Amino acid sequence: MSEIEIRNLTKRFEVKGMTVTALDNISLDIEKGDIFGIIGMSGAGKSTLVRSINFLEKPTDGQVFVGGVDLATLSEKELRKKRSEIGMIFQNFNLLEQKTALGNICFPLEIAGMKRSDAKKKARELLATVNLAEKEKSYPSQLSGGQKQRVAIARALATDPKILLCDEATSALDPQTTESILSLLRKINEDLGITIVIITHQMSVVTQVCKKVAIIDNGVLVEQGLVEKVFESPKTDAAKELIFEKKARYSPVERLHSERKIRIVFNENSSYEPVIANLILKFQAPVNILKADTRNVGGKARGEMILGLPESETIQDDMIKSLKETGLTVTEVEEDV
């Protein structure tokens, strides 16, 4: 059953007398209880899309259904009530600096009319949920980035939402803290059954925690499906650029060149086979390993390599055929890596 249905959504803005199309005819279904990733480069339209889900941005055309309800049919009062079912966390945390961790979580509860004593009790329960019970009296300036995001998550959960929207929620965090926040989101999803939508430009975030993914490029939905399938065999240039991460900050070299390059993804059965050694022995020709990596994809370690093949086109084709026959996923790589 779909928790969120987006139908032919288009969003245009007027900027200095010009019409800019931020989203162009987007259609998506996000199932109840799913962890769904929406990924794209900066300026692709991701944040506009996530703000359309709770109608902070109203579509120019198309429809957004949440829990089967067309948001465009709701009055302002009904829409505010519906938004209480949709929690949201942001890259910059958006905490109130003059309030403690406890006060930040109490704030939406008190606005909703809950008694102060009841709000404090629930806020303490939520701080325990995000493993910050001992920080209830701390102000945001006294918290680390990861702790601030945990408070923001607790605050977003205060209204018992059915949906949690995460807009670049880990972009300001270091890798280790990012991993802890993603583990927390996964636990919240499993324990509370909340549908989570993660907006990000980091494929590593999507592969680590999401079940399904949609890829946005220049306002257009170019690819979607199970994370594992998209990771194994990306179809579009946008997906390949995000997965290959050829501009990764920690790459030891800027670019590696080769005449013809392929990407292979190791499945569980091939992970323990000496694939490259067997390939070299079989064809008596060298193969360059241009990149090798292991990623967490849906909770499973998946290996990938980008190989530079020998100059002979016949040997290149035979090698690709041989790799596919062993059950490996093989795709061509056009760009330098």
Q: What is the pLDDT of residues 259-316, one digit of tens each?
A: 788 888 876 655 556 788 888 888 888 888 888 877 777 666 677 888 888 888 888 9
Instruction: State yes or no: pLDDT of 10 exceeds 80.
Output: yes
For the segment 126-163, what is each residue's pLDDT rounded down to a tens digit? 999 999 999 999 999 999 999 999 999 999 999 899 99
In sequence order, the 6+-apart residues with CB closer than 8 A to the CB of 51 are 57, 167
Domains of the chain (ranges; CATH) run 2-232 (3.40.50.300), 246-333 (3.30.70.260)
In 3D, which of 37, 16, 25 has the Cα closest to residue 185? Answer: 37
267: burial class by Cβ within 10 Å (0-12, 13-18, 19+)? middle
Question: In the structure, what pLDDT confidence band is assigned to residue 27 with cuts at 50, 70 and 90?
Answer: very high
* Rounded Cα gap, residues 194 and 268, in angstroms: 30
In this prediction the pTM is: 0.78
For the segment 314-328, what is each residue's pLDDT rounded down to a tens digit? 889 888 888 888 878
